[in-house]
Chains A and B, each alone.
Chain A
Amino acid sequence: MRRSPNILWFFLIALTLIIGWGLGPDFYDALRSRTWTTVPCRILRSHVFEEPSNYGMRYVLRVEYAYPFAGRDYRSTRFGTGQNQDTMDVARAGQAAVRFAEGKEAVCFVNPQYPSEAVLERGNLWGGLFLLGPLLIIGLMGQEQIFAWFGKRRRNRRAVLSPPISELNDALGIDGRYVLFGVMGLVMGTLLLGMSVARPLSDWRRTRSWMEADATILHSELISRSGIHGPEYSLEVVFEYEVNGKRYRSDKAGLGFSIEAPVADMSDWVAAHPAGARMRCFVNPQDPTEAVLDRHLRLEWISPALGLLMMGFGLFLFAGFRRTWRLRKQLAGDVLAAYWQGKVREGTATFRVFPPVWVPALGCLAAALICAPPGIWSLSKFVRALSHGQTDLINLLYGIFALAGVGYFICLGWKYLVQVFKPRPILEVTPAALQVGRPFEVHWNFSGRAPRGWMRLWLDGVEEARVRRLIHAHYGSISEEKTERFTFKSILLAEVQADPARAGRADGRVPAETMHSFKGVKGGVTWQIRIEFGDRKTEKLEHKFPITVTPDRR
């Protein structure tokens, strides 16, 4: 086995330490403050200060408050538990200034061990989730080793305890890897869809009842910074508005998920709304600190599409777990006999190429039509941004990705479309379910036209097994479950060397000493009638039709 590169592990451990160093103290303080005593207090002084920083303007609520504790009076100037007392969100700072306005009665949280230590706002514990980020990456990279360790432990336990063989139904166990990826798909899909669709929709519904007010743009700028994938852009806007004679500030330009907002649109907006410009804004009448300049609903396509894909992947895996769980409950006695034998039909079985080739061709066309508009939209946004001297990398990458999808579906659809003009076999097999050691007959026919070159008809017995194989990648090893097939028997039923007839008949017999169809959860034995033909000797078209072979029922 190839060893995973040590430098990567070193990098991850360093990343864990850096994130722990940066977020750990804040998380610890927030956690500590949950045990503190809630005490009434009076705000003596409160004012929002603006401070410029490398990343834009920051806002600090400078506050002083008095509170009694254990018969003594104390004073504190600490607002929250975090190391940094400032925020880049002007609306949040404004809301804090309203909640803790000078002369107002409020509550503070006091450390009972050191009563001089108090805060007005306790830190958010959700920040602690970021501490798990590196562990999640390490867990994903090392998942193969982790699951291998669990597998080894299970084998060792079995060796020691020696449980009854009839209870070791491994094929109907749920693979921890699929649980991990299923949960990740669902969680990430829900988060992405929540942020990119549910939240803008909910904001849009909320803002419909908001009142209008005059606003003045104080600051409007397209900020660019260097990110890990190239330049990143964000719209920074601060506007001031007046409600009931009181002035407020907000930095919310519109609704939506700003990560993938086109740079060209942001650039146009900045050009149309310079500092000093006056326009209408929409203010929450219940909380005038909350306001937005544009309340139109704008949904982008990248995050919803990624969210849908991830959620679909998670749901697909969970549907698999449900199927396994049901099989585990049901597979015994008669249900088991019906399961391993497969569908046993009476009379004559007719096999056609299914689905008809035009169905996947139309499916590919539909998929291409779905991918094309977002691809064109994203690339046009990239080109517009480029004309302003900006690089909209997100729209470039996803635009290329969507158009590559269009190309792929067109090629695939063309392959299916070509098949429409090829001969398509129709087979009639009597009896519909073959029996070990018993004769059968096959009638063939071609819809459209007959092949002009040659044709062969086979009965194949195939052994199948779902096998987990280890794949070595540059970031470590992962395993993948694959179906391995071995054809253990091929019986030639008919062969026509030149210019086969449009219809014909062949007789055959399933060998007496062979295995019947057996369908297991992770493997089995299948039988198929295979027809291969071509217009030229070098051309080979092939269709396989699965057929049930039962034990000899005489």
Chain B
Amino acid sequence: MNTVSLKLDHSQRNYCPGDKLAGAVTWENEEPRRVEIRLFWFTVGIAPRQIGLVEKMVIDRPRFQNSSNFAFRLPPGPYSFMGIRIGLCWAVEVVLLPSKRHATAYFNLGPAGEPVMLISEPLIKQTE
């Protein structure tokens, strides 16, 4: 069976801006033409999902290898957050091309490593 996996160096998965995010990707039984490791954030919630591709690491024609290490320096933002209608998550994803087989690891980015919660205050709702 074809498999692809992605492992982060830290199991805790909480990062601060400027931290180094490092890990390794492995794939088996497949010879991809190209491997892309993508660092991105995405919105969650009731509004349509937006993807923000921050950085991409590309390995072209990796014929004699079935694994690779990666490292990204995390930007100052946006922070991971969770609100009533919208939230933001961070992820790193490895995609084998052209099969598009992939593996994803999620993590938090915030001033204290934790996502910011927007729902602790009394809420005032407006719609227009």
Contact = CB atoms under 8 A, between A and B. Distances in A.
A20 interface: no
A523 B45 contact: yes
Contacts of B118: 461, 463, 486, 488-489, 515, 525
A516 B112 CA distance: 14
Contacts of B42: 165-166, 168
A169 B100 CA distance: 16
Contact of A331 (B52, B88, B102, B111): B52
Interface string B87-128: 010010101000010101000000110001011110111111
B123 to A, nearest CB: 5
A369 interface: no
Contacts of A518: 77-79, 81, 88
A166 B40 contact: yes
Contact of B43 (A341, A488, A522): A522
Interface stretch (A224-232, A276-284, A477-485): A477-485
Contacts of B54: 332-333, 336-337
A94 B113 CA distance: 86
B17 A524 contact: no
A513 B75 CA distance: 18
A372 to B, nearest CB: 30
Contacts of A436: 111
Interface residues of B, number: 46
B84 interface: yes
A198 interface: no
Given A163-B100, A463-B85, A486-B125, A168 B75 contact: no
A164 B127 contact: no
Contacts of A173: 48
A170 B50 contact: yes
Contacts of A483: 127-128
Contacts of B102: 164
A209 interface: no
A488 B86 contact: no
B25 to A, nearest CB: 13
Interface string B47-70: 111111111000000000000000
A51 interface: no
Contacts of A2: none
A428 to B, nearest CB: 26
B46 interface: yes
A171 B47 contact: yes
Contacts of B84: 463, 486, 488
Contacts of B48: 170-171, 173, 466, 522
B38 A486 contact: no
Contacts of B49: 168-171
Given A166-B40, A463-B84, A520-B43, A336 B124 contact: no
A523 B79 contact: no
Contacts of B43: 171, 520, 522-523
Nearest to B115: A515
Contact of A166 (B46, B47, B53): B53
Sort chain A's interface into a size bin: 35 or more
A336 B38 CA distance: 15
B111 A164 contact: no
Contacts of A163: 100
Interface string A297-310: 00000000000000
A524 B85 CA distance: 10
Contacts of A172: 50
A96 to B, nearest CB: 58
Given A518-B88, A520-B86, A166 B95 contact: yes
Nearest to A162: B102
A24 interface: no
B66 to A, nearest CB: 19
A487 interface: yes
B124 to A, nearest CB: 4
Given A463-B83, A467-B85, A486-B125, A340 B78 contact: yes
Contacts of A512: 111
Contacts of B91: 165-166
Nearest to A169: B51
A333 B55 contact: yes
B55 to A, nearest CB: 7
Nearest to A173: B48
Contact of A165 (B85, B93, B121): B93
A155 to B, nearest CB: 12
Interface of B: 17, 38, 40, 42-43, 45-55, 75-79, 81, 83-86, 88, 91, 93, 95, 100, 102, 104, 111-112, 116, 118-121, 123-128
